[in-house]
């Protein structure tokens, strides 16, 4: 695993990380949507890459992926193909890298919701799972939204809000994240 100095990480501020999506013609069953890339994610060009982020351990525990993925050094092409082959994509509400999600403005999140909606209409996932209730509430103007399946769709996709896997979200565990991510994956047909 690489070690980055604070200065090295800061050099990735405002960088972008491209969406990880199945190739055209491949089925997109489940689109996970993070809040925005962190600096470690930008440095490695790999979503949810920070060493204490619990996204991939939770996916493995839920059976959403069938082998461990350690993204901290950057995801391998084999890892990316494993996700694509299972019909899984990853995007973000905001694409600008920051040290913390609270550095994003409400306007950025709202604009990101519009871009996400266009992506969903274009790529037609079965399920969209937004990882972060506070960001979801802000982005979609729904201050009373709760975790879980939402009463509305996004495009034609079933819409879920799941807990953020960041290590900063201390009251979630790999097990609780796996439960939430597994529910969305079952709805998408990724796992039975």
C-beta of residue 32 within 8 angstroms of C-beta of residue 129: yes
Band the pLDDT of 1: cuts 50, 70, 90.
low
Question: What tens digit of pLDDT does each residue of 73-95 get?
Answer: 889 999 999 999 999 999 999 99
* Nearest CA among 122, 131, 55, 48 for reference residue 93: 131
* Angle value at C-alpha 143, between 169 and 119, nearest 5 degrees: 80
Percent of the chain with pLDDT over 70: 99
Place of tokens 């079933």: 158
Q: What is the mean pLDDT of residues 161-171?
A: 88
How far is the C-alpha of 174 from the C-alpha of 192, rounded, in Å?
20
Instruction: Write down how long the chain is.
Output: 192
Distance of CA 69 to the CA centre of its chain: 15
Residue 170 has pLDDT above 90, yes or no: no
Band the pLDDT of 13: cuts 50, 70, 90.
very high
How far is the C-alpha of 166 from the C-alpha of 169, rounded, in Å?
5
Residue 62 has pLDDT above 70, yes or no: yes
Domains, the chain, in order of start with CATH, read 6-188 (3.40.470.10)
How far is the C-alpha of 53 from the C-alpha of 41, rounded, in Å?
10
pLDDT of residue 73: 82
pLDDT of residue 4: 87
- Quick one: three-class SS letters along 152-190? EEECCEEEEEECCCCCCCCCCCHHHHHHHHHHHHHHHCC
Question: What tens digit of pLDDT does each residue of 145-160 get?
Answer: 999 999 999 999 999 9
Residue 136 has pLDDT above 90, yes or no: yes
pLDDT of residue 122: 96
Q: What is the pTM of this model?
A: 0.96
Residue 23 has pLDDT above 80, yes or no: yes
Q: What is the mean pLDDT of residues 114-135?
A: 97
pLDDT of residue 37: 96
Structure tokens at 63: 């059976």
What mean pLDDT value characterizes the chain?
A: 95
How far is the C-alpha of 120 from the C-alpha of 115, rounded, in Å?
9
């Amino acid at each position: 695993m690489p070690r980055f100095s604070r200065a090295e990480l800061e050099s990735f501020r405002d960088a972008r990380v491209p969406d990880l999506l199945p190739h055209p013609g491949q089925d997109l069953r489940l689109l996970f949507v993070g809040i925005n890339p962190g600096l470690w994610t930008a440095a490695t060009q790999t979503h949810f890459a920070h060493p204490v982020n619990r996204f991939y351990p939770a996916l493995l525990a839920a059976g959403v992926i069938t082998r461990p993925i350690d993204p901290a050094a950057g995801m391998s092409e084999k890892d990316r193909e494993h996700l694509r082959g299972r019909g899984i994509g990853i995007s973000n509400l905001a694409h600008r890298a920051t040290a913390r999600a609270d550095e994003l403005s409400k306007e950025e999140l709202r604009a990101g919701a519009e871009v996400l909606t266009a992506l969903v209409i274009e790529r037609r996932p079965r399920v969209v799972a937004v990882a972060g209730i506070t960001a979801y509430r802000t982005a979609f103007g729904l201050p009373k939204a709760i975790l879980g399946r939402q009463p509305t769709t996004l495009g034609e996709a079933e819409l879920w809000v799941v807990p953020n896997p960041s290590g900063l979200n201390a009251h979630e565990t790999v097990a609780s994240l796996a439960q939430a991510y597994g529910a969305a994956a079952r709805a998408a047909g990724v796992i039975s």
